[in-house]
Amino acid sequence: MAYLYANGCLLFSGLRDDFIKHARVIDAKGLVVAPGLVDPHVHFREPGQTHKETIKTGSQAAAAGGFTTVVCMPNTSPPADNAGTIQFIQDAIRRDAIVNVYPTGTITVGMQGEKLAPIGSLKNTGVVAITDDGLCVQNNQIMRRAVEYAAMFDLPVMDHCQDYALTEGAVMNEGVWSLRLGLRGWPAAAEDIIVSRDVTLSTHTGAHIHLQHISSGYAVDIIRRAKSRGVRITAEASPHHISLTDACLAGYDTNFKMNPPLRTEEDRLILIEGLRDGTLDCIATDHAPHTDYEKDCEFDYAPNGIIGLETSLAVSLQTLIPSQGFSLSEVIALLTHKPAALVNLPKGTLSPGRDADVVLFDPEESWTVDPKKLHGKSINCPWNHCNLKGRVHQTLVSGQVVYQKDQS
């Protein structure tokens, strides 16, 4: 199939011979041509933590991973809880980003969970959702008012589901492995309880709540039942939660430390079932860069989070297709139009009139993750030195090539 774009937009008609003669032709033989990938959950650390990542380097990592649209989280320093900070981020995006980057704003002032942020002003400066991601609003009254208020602007509220009383000092999944390793456990119940809370609030308010990085099998069950009743709940799963388990922590490698933590094999398989039947709407990386020296310490003290933009496509393909029987187009859907729909963006599709955001990849090509060759600022990746299958060759944003695989 041939695609044609002009002025950055896709066209499917008017393929006149003279038009084609003057066009730049990209040879995609043997490659999959797909809509540019969409990630509804990344941390680009700007402003305030630009030693970890910037909008520029983060968007370069995105392009290298085949992502043409990303939604960045507001837990910057200071947090994106006011129109001024959002404007600063928008300016940086216009200046530095090589892919489409959309900001989100916080739910509460300073992400303190106590007082609503100026959600209307945030909407006016272009946020596509609000979230206190990294933290979870514990006060149910504040959360209720937040979702009610945000619904007025048709803004989804994204929630990082974690009950703090149950997770004090917790650094990994509570289970056999936390017991063996002597690490403080984070019980899945702490996620399940907040997922239930959010389902309840969405039921009563009609507001759209999006549940971030679901890790618990029981939470999938809660979401499935809510969706069957028509509750406006959506949810995402991360590449690491569908491919890795808490057994990976046996060596105390801090590149396997994130929040929520890696869970059991049973949870992992239930998450995959959730993606298969649509209970979980999409894949999101939770790309969370930290420098090597920040991660190089005692496991208890290491910051939570791993990067994922450059490995997401390969990990998703190799996790879901060979052993789980997903089709290529099902996996692509989870990485493109489905995440775009969550935040009401006209992205992740190759349709006439839409932006020519395209990724070309070879689903069969093996490559080794070389931390020295990653495109972001940080290398806190659990797949460093691993062999992955599925490699991005070229990424285009509005018809412009923003990433071209090294020919070497």
- As annotated, the active-site residues are 286
Residues in region 167-186 near other proteins by CB under 8 A: 175-176, 179-184
Tokens representing residue 144 in the block: 């209720």
Q: Which residue's CB is nearer to other proteins, number 43 or number 295?
A: 295
Residues in region 200-259 near other proteins by CB under 8 A: 251-252
Contact between 300 and other proteins per CB under 8 A: yes
Q: How far is the CB of 213 from other proteins (least distance, A)?
A: 24
List the end-to-end C-alpha distance of the chain, in Å, as a whole number.
Answer: 28
Exactly one of 14, 17, 229, 293 binds other proteins (CB under 8 A); that residue is 293
Tokens representing residue 154 in the block: 């048709």
| Helix (H/G/I), strand (E/B), else coil: 154 | coil
Residue with tokens 């945000």: 150
Contact between 292 and other proteins per CB under 8 A: no
Strand-pair category, 282-283 with 9-11: unpaired
Residues in region 29-58 near other proteins by CB under 8 A: none
Q: How far is the CB of 183 from other proteins (least distance, A)?
A: 5
Q: How far is the CB of 178 from other proteins (least distance, A)?
A: 9
Q: What angle do CA 390, 309, 65 make, to 5 degrees?
A: 45
Q: Which residues contact 2 (CB under 8 A, 6 or more apart)?
A: 15
Contact between 265 and other proteins per CB under 8 A: no
Q: Return d(Cα 330, Cα 325) in angstroms, integer.
A: 10
How far out from the chain centre does Cα 389 lie? 20
Nearest to 365 by CA among 26, 1, 31, 36: 31
Contact between 298 and other proteins per CB under 8 A: yes
The number of residues in the chain equals: 408
Contact between 386 and other proteins per CB under 8 A: no
Applying CB under 8 A, which part among 26-34, 116-124, 295-303, 377-385 lies near other proteins? 295-303
Contact between 299 and other proteins per CB under 8 A: yes
Contact between 301 and other proteins per CB under 8 A: yes
Q: How far is the CB of 181 from other proteins (least distance, A)?
A: 6
Q: Return d(Cα 382, Cα 304) in angstroms, integer.
A: 12
Q: How far is the CB of 291 from other proteins (least distance, A)?
A: 12
DSSP lists the bridge partners of residue 401 as 396
Q: Return d(Cα 161, Cα 168) in angstroms, integer.
A: 14
Q: Which residue's CB is nearer to other proteins, number 252 or number 367?
A: 252
Q: Which residue's CB is nearer to other proteins, number 175 or number 260?
A: 175
Task: Enumerate binding residues for other proteins (CB under 8 A).
Answer: 175-176, 179-184, 251-252, 293, 296-301
